[in-house]
Amino acid sequence: MRIETHGQQIEVTPAIRDYVESKFARLGRHFEQPLDVRTLLSVVKTEQRAEATVNFTGHTLHAQTNGVDVYAAIDLLADKLDRLLVKHKEKQVDTVRRAESAARSGDFA
């Protein structure tokens, strides 16, 4: 998994970069193919914003969160991306199961 972390109006320190990598490491367990994660951390007035784009084999997922500090925003973002990946994986499995069911019953459209 490749993780890029960028900052907009905020300096991305090595501590923040390591925190992002440790939180996003769990995203790789959902798919065997490599994931490319591009993270943007920014400050909007008094809120810390974190957004990420995940690219993998023809699909792109995007999530954005706000938090009181940058670490809280990263936590929320990691949870949101985890849910998005699980939802995407379930859709793929459902599609395969429906195709298998149609093949077994002999119903072809």
Report whether pLDDT(62) > 90: yes
The pLDDT of residue 102 is 60
Model pTM score = 0.81
pLDDT average, residue stretch 52-73: 92
Structure tokens at 41: 């951390």
DSSP single-letter state for residue 28:
G
Spell out the domains of the chain, with CATH numbers in brackets: 2-104 (3.30.160.100)
pLDDT in tens, 70-97: 999 999 999 999 999 899 888 877 766 6
> In the predicted model, what is the mean pLDDT of residues 26-45?
87
Contact predicate 22/14, CB 8 Å:
no
